[in-house]
Amino acid sequence: MDPALIWILVGLVLLGAETLLPGVFLLWIGLAAVGTGLMLLLATPPFWLTVTVFIVLLAAGIAAALRLRRSEHPRPRVNTPDAGLVGRFGVLTEPGLSGPRVRVGDSDWAARLPRDVSDSPAGTRVRVEGVEGTTLIVRPD
């Protein structure tokens, strides 16, 4: 059997196996094998060059995959205080010993106001602009 066809068949088998065992690992090996087989259809280089082409194609595929993986959008932050609080509205409550507090929904949070509005009275409606630890950074609405 022609070596080019063997490379292409092995590559196709690996691509088929990738659909049964998804993990994106066999994909790059299969594509490199198919590419090597196509190269062998066009020319008949020595064995060492065939193996070198396979390794270069495999490395290029893996490098491209890693580059694409890094450029993906960051995952949404789940179960962090700022994930559901930033942008919500609350009401300033009576200040505690540690400073101002704000009620957002059914929870009371320590709050920090900008200096220019730090003397806002209790009952002032505020908007959450950020979170530092467990302290909400708020500004009057």
SS3 annotation, 17-86: HHHHCCCCHHHHHHHHHHHHHHHHHHCCCCHHHHHHHHHHHHHHHHHHHHHHHHCCCCCCCCCCHHHHHC
Instruction: Quickly state the pLDDT bin for 52 (edges 50, 70, 90).
Output: very high
Residue scoring higher pLDDT (114 or 57): 57
Predicted pLDDT of residue 12: 95
Which SS3 state, helix, strand or coil, does residue 140 take? strand
Predicted pLDDT of residue 1: 86
- Written as six digits, the tokens of 10 are 């092995």
- Written as six digits, the tokens of 129 are 């602009």
pLDDT of 30 > 60? The answer is yes
pLDDT of 95 > 90? The answer is no
Domains of the chain: 3-70 (no CATH), 81-140 (2.40.50.140)
Predicted pLDDT of residue 79: 62
Give the dihedral sign, CA 11/16/19/22.
negative
What average pLDDT does the segment 92-111 reach?
84
Q: What percent of the chain has pLDDT over 90?
A: 40
The dihedrals phi and psi of 105, each to the nearest 5 degrees, come to: 65, -125
